[in-house]
Amino acid sequence: MKRRSLLSFAAAAPLLAGGCAATSASSATSKAPALLGTGDLGVVIERAQGALTLVNTSRREAMGRVEGLGDLSHASVVFSRDERFAYVFGRDGALTRVDILEQRITHRVMQAGNSIGGAISADGSLVVAQNYTPGGIKVFDAATLELLSDIPALMPNGERSRVVGLADLPQRRFIYSLFDAEAICIADCSNPRKPQVTTLAGIGRQPYDALLSPNGRHYIAGLFGEDGLAMVDLWDATPRARRILAGYGRGEKPLPVYKMPHLRGWAMAGGRAYLPAIGRHEVLVVDTATWAEVGRIPVAGQPVFVMARPDGRQVWVNFSVPDYNRVQVIDTPSGQVIDTIAPGKAVLHMEFTPRGESVWISCRDDDRVQVYDTHTRQLQASLAVDAPSGIFFTARAQRMGF
C-alpha cells in the first residue's frame, strides 16, 4: 500500500515541478563556501539516511553532508556540465538538485511514484528521469527543474510501461527501454517541449536494464523474459535492434540468482566486453566486433558490478550475497584474477577516480568507504559513511551514457 500512496502523491507532482521552491538542506551553513575546483569531487549515497556525503578524491576525505533527499534505497546521480550540481534520482520518484559547493539542496521535485534513474544531455540543458509509475520519462530544465515534457511509455493497449535503461545520446536525444512493451525508444528532445519519439518494437521480452557503450555507439538491453540481449548500433543510418549472445540470460540457468547484475557495470576495454554471468560464478568475455563470447573467467561469487579501470588494464568485480565481502581484480591482458581483497561487509558499489589510480568501494554494513590504490591494492583511506551505497564522482559529467 505504501507504493500506491506514493503513486497518488506523484500523480500531482508534475504540476508542481515548474514552480518548485528551493528546499534548504538541514546541513547547510551560513558561512561563505570556500572557492574550490570541482573536478575532484563526488557524492556517496547514504541509503538509510537519505543523505549524501560529499567527498574530495584528492584529499581522500569527506568534505560535507547534505540531508533531506528522501528514499535513496536505489538512487543514482548525474552531474551538471560544470561539475558543480548533482542531480539525485531517488527510488521514491524524487529528483533533487544539490549544489556541491554550497552543500545544499537548490531544487527538489516529486516527479513520479517510483523511479530508478536519469540522464543529462551533453550540453547540460536537460535532465531526464525514467519512471516505473507512472511509466515514462520526464524532461526537466536542468537549471530550474521545470518540467518541459512528460513522455508516457505507451503499450499497444494504451497502458503505460515501466521504463528502464535510460541513457543520453548526442543532440539532446535519450534512449530507453520499455519493460512491459518489448520496445526500445529514442526521444529527440532538441525541442524539449515537443519531443519526437522513435520506437523500435519487438526487441525481446522484458528488457530489465541497459547500457550504452563508452563511445555511445552500442545500446544493449538485457532481457528478463528470455535468453540473450537486444543490441542497437546507433551509428547505423536507420538503427534497429538485433539479438546478441543468445546464451546470456535466465532461461537455462540452474543456479538461483541472488541479485540481478547491473548491466551498467559492464566493462568495455580493448575490443572486449566483460560482463557478469547471471547466476554463475563467472565473468563472460565478449568480442565487441562480433558480439560473440570468447571466454569465461571463474570468479568468487555471482558478479554484480564488473567494472573496467579507466585504462582497461584491470577489471574489478564485486558479488551478490553471500560473497559480497570480497572484490576481485582481473588482469585483462592475461584474463586472470590477480588479486582478491576483503574491503568489508556488503560491498555495494565501486567507483574509479578519473585516471584510475584509486578505487572507492562502499561497504554498507561496516559504514565505511574504503579507498584502494589500484596498482598496489593497498588501502589508501577509510571514510566513515552511514550505510554507503552508490559512489559517483563529478568526472561522470564528462562522459556519455551515465
Binding mask 306-335 for a copy of itself (x = CB under 8 A): ----xxxx-------------------x--
Among 124, 152, 225, 228, binds a copy of itself (CB under 8 A): 124
Q: How many residues bind a copy of itself (CB under 8 A)?
A: 50
Q: How far is the CB of 293 from a copy of itself (least distance, A)?
A: 19
The phi and psi torsions of 343 (rounded to 5 degrees) equal: -70, -25
Other CB atoms within a 10 A radius of the CB of residue 338 amount to: 11
**Residue number, 251 or 270, with CB nearest to a copy of itself:** 270
Contacts (CB under 8 A) with a copy of itself, residues 13-42: 33, 35-41
Which range, of 65-73, 81-89, 174-182, 248-256, touches a copy of itself by CB under 8 A?
Answer: 81-89
The phi-psi region of residue 217 (left if phi > 0; otherwise alpha if psi is between -120 and 50; otherwise beta) is: alpha
Check residue 82 for interaction with a copy of itself (CB under 8 A). yes
Of 137, 133, 136, 210, the C-alpha closest to 172 is 137
Q: How far is the CB of 230 from a copy of itself (least distance, A)?
A: 21
Q: How far is the CB of 355 from a copy of itself (least distance, A)?
A: 4
Check residue 247 for interaction with a copy of itself (CB under 8 A). no
Of 325, 331, 398, the C-alpha closest to 363 is 325
Check residue 377 for interaction with a copy of itself (CB under 8 A). no
Query: How many angstroms from the chain centroid is the CA of residue 174?
Result: 15
Q: How far is the CB of 23 from a copy of itself (least distance, A)?
A: 19
Cell numbers for 296? 569465461
Dist CA 69 CA 390 (whole Å): 14
**Residue number, 228 or 239, with CB nearest to a copy of itself:** 239
3-state secondary structure of 326: coil
| C-beta separation of 288 from 274 below 8 A | no
| C-beta separation of 106 from 99 below 8 A | yes
Dist CA 82 CA 85 (whole Å): 8
Query: Which residues contact a copy of itself by CB under 8 A?
Result: 33, 35-41, 57-58, 79-85, 100-102, 122-124, 170-171, 215-217, 235, 269-271, 289, 310-313, 333, 353-357, 375, 394-395, 397-400
